[in-house]
Structure 1
Amino acid sequence: MDRRRFARRVVISLGIAWVSPRSLSQSTHVPRLGMLINGGPGVTPAMTAVRRGFEQLGYREGADIAYESRFAEGKLDRLPALAQELAARKVDVIVTFGGPSTSAAIRATKQIPIVFAIVADPVAVGFVDSLERPGGNATGITSNDPQQAGQQMELMRMLIPGLRRLAILSDADIPGADASGLAPIERGNANAAKAMGIETRVLKVRLPDPDLEASFDAMEAASAQGLLILEVPVGMVHRKRIAELAASRRLPTLFSAGSADAGGVLSYGTKVDDTWPRVPVYVDRILKGAKPGDLSVEVVTTRDLVVNLKTAREIGIAVPPDLVKMATRTVE
């Protein structure tokens, strides 16, 4: 046989084996990835990051993986039915973004593996037994920082000397509420504030059409001196409108680090968008045989502090120099 022809055949064969992430077999099964999305159809940063991650792992859409997406279009009460639909379709893995979609998926199936992101505290809400050993059929990545609530209060106290009353804006649809009506992320911040002698008023609104004006009226009636916007669906989707309303009432704000583009005075913490590129890695390991209950939940720990001096000037407050020095980025 011609040596050059033989070498060319070997190279082609090796190339095919290297490109495909699946083991060489006669199976023609293409894994189907169910994606449960809070928003509507279209390109989103989360979906873009996930698809790019699979491409980097060597997955080709249609050949090595297929996407089956379901969209709640901001109506989170639709998530349970959409999750049940994916379960009935018997997709290979379900990917969820946020507490409401993860809760819906876990209720819909105990057999199909679930990989989550944007879940503040998966242990507190009961999605996993522990971060080290999830135990059930769900695992994933969290940007939850146990120290963040206390640090947020310290930042707000630096920004607003003598702070006594703080409003907290949250989402009525996040899971894990106790008898007080507060979910873990809400309790954590309320307790951190109480420890510093700060009184809090937690206001919950709901997608797709939150009555934000009424919430701000309630903040004003409670004489709130500042506003903390939690990293929850409504706070992310409507972040710019929230920042506009706060600025119109000269109310200093602290958003999550991932919502720095909203234009609040401060943005702090870990970022949910750091979790998205890790989702394909978890799915890949599950498709190769790993059990989700054995895969430790990964915790993102990098924190950012953005100080928006432009917004501060517009609402008439001076940001202390020591706080500016702490910033990883400032907006002039």
Structure 2
Amino acid sequence: MAALLFNPESAPYGPFYVQAAHQMESRLGLKIAGASVRSGPGIAAAIETAARTGGGLVVLPDGGFFGTHSTMAIALLAQRRVPAIFAVRFYASNGGLMSYGADLTQQFRDGAGYVDRLLRGADISTLPVQFATRFELVINMKTARALGLTVPNRLLLDAELIE
């Protein structure tokens, strides 16, 4: 069992991710539950539920909501021995098990190119929509060891960073 955490106010796309995850359940051999959280206590309750059921968490990107609760969440995940994967590198670098998501540094670089084009007079309506082109997998081996997990070599080979 894995809970897919999202704040419906800062990540209104969350239900679409939950729906997609449900479509993958049989392929993954894993039951997915959507968990809408709106506060630090809501995050803590989701972590406690995962600890009781032997499950894990997947935390969706949300524009900063989880960041404000990251210290509490990562400490509680470690204390309750709950594995979690995040969409942003920050969390794995600060004690979460792993992250997989867009390389934010590259996205900011790409954004700077857009700003340059606009400042040089480009019409915003003529600029193409850009999506992330580089994704990164970060694995925190200290956390994996603390959770008693063996990380498959295939993941280690694919990781951009092993903390």
**Superposition TM-score tier, normalisation by shorter sequence:** 0.7 to 0.9
Task: Give the structure 2 partner of residue 173 of structure 1.
Answer: 9
For structure 2, the residue ranges without an aligned partner over 5 or more in a row are: none
Task: Give the structure 2 partner of residue 282 of structure 1.
Answer: 114
User: Structure 1 residue 322 and structure 2 residue 154: aligned?
Assistant: yes
Bigger radius of gyration: 1
* TM-score, structure 2 as length reference: 0.79
CA contact (8 A) 1:169 1:227 kept: yes
CA contact (8 A) 2:102 2:132 kept: yes
Divergent runs of 4+, >4 A: none
Equivalent pairs: percent with the same residue? 28
**C-alpha deviation, 1:176, in angstroms:** 4.4
Greater shift after overlay, 187-196 or 317-326? 187-196
Amino acid across the alignment from 2:114? Y
What are the superposed Cα offsets for residues 120-154 of structure 1, whole Å, 9 maximum, x if unpaired? xxxxxxxxxxxxxxxxxxxxxxxxxxxxxxxxxxx
Supply the distance in 2 between the matched residues of 1:214 and 1:318 (Cα, whole angstroms).
Answer: 27
Supply the distance in 2 between the matched residues of 1:324 and 1:269 (Cα, whole angstroms).
Answer: 16
- 1:304 alignment partner, one of 126, 132, 136: 136
Greater shift after overlay, 188-197 or 304-313? 188-197
With over 3 angstroms needed to count, the CA separation of the structure-2 counterparts of 1:308 and 1:174, relative to structure 1, is same
* TM-score, structure 1 as length reference: 0.42
Task: Give the structure 2 partner of residue 248 of structure 1.
Answer: 79
With over 3 angstroms needed to count, the CA separation of the structure-2 counterparts of 1:328 and 1:277, relative to structure 1, is closer
For structure 1, the residue ranges without an aligned partner over 5 or more in a row are: 1-164
1:59-138 alignment to 2 at 5 Å? none
The 3-state SS of whatever aligns with 1:299 is coil
Q: CA RMSD in A?
A: 2.5
Supply the distance in 2 between the matched residues of 1:293 and 1:247 (Cα, whole angstroms).
Answer: 47
Supply the distance in 2 between the matched residues of 1:242 and 1:227 (Cα, whole angstroms).
Answer: 11
Supply the distance in 2 between the matched residues of 1:175 and 1:323 (Cα, whole angstroms).
Answer: 28
CA contact (8 A) 1:170 1:186 kept: no
**C-alpha deviation, 1:310, in angstroms:** 0.9
What are the superposed Cα offsets for residues 38-71 of structure 1, whole Å, 9 maximum, x if unpaired? xxxxxxxxxxxxxxxxxxxxxxxxxxxxxxxxxx
- 1:215 alignment partner, one of 32, 46, 49: 46
The 3-state SS of whatever aligns with 1:234 is coil
With over 3 angstroms needed to count, the CA separation of the structure-2 counterparts of 1:189 and 1:276, relative to structure 1, is farther
What are the superposed Cα offsets for residues 261-286 of structure 1, whole Å, 9 maximum, x if unpaired? 23122222322332223333323323
The 3-state SS of whatever aligns with 2:139 is strand
Supply the distance in 1 between the matched residues of 2:25 and 2:75 (Cα, whole angstroms).
Answer: 25
With over 3 angstroms needed to count, the CA separation of the structure-2 counterparts of 1:240 and 1:185, relative to structure 1, is farther
Q: How many residues align?
A: 160
CA contact (8 A) 1:174 1:183 kept: no
Supply the distance in 1 between the matched residues of 2:106 and 2:72 (Cα, whole angstroms).
Answer: 24
**C-alpha deviation, 1:330, in angstroms:** 1.6
Greater shift after overlay, 209-218 or 243-252? 209-218
Task: Give the structure 2 partner of residue 9 of structure 1.
Answer: none
1:234-273 alignment to 2 at 5 Å? 234-259=65-90, 260-273=92-105
Amino acid across the alignment from 1:297? V
**C-alpha deviation, 1:257, in angstroms:** 4.2
Task: Give the structure 2 partner of residue 18 of structure 1.
Answer: none
1:1-20 alignment to 2 at 5 Å? none
What are the superposed Cα offsets for residues 159-184 of structure 1, whole Å, 9 maximum, x if unpaired? xxxxxx1111112213545xxxx443
CA contact (8 A) 1:167 1:202 kept: yes
The 3-state SS of whatever aligns with 1:218 is helix
With over 3 angstroms needed to count, the CA separation of the structure-2 counterparts of 1:306 and 1:284, relative to structure 1, is closer
Amino acid across the alignment from 2:104? V
The 3-state SS of whatever aligns with 2:57 is strand
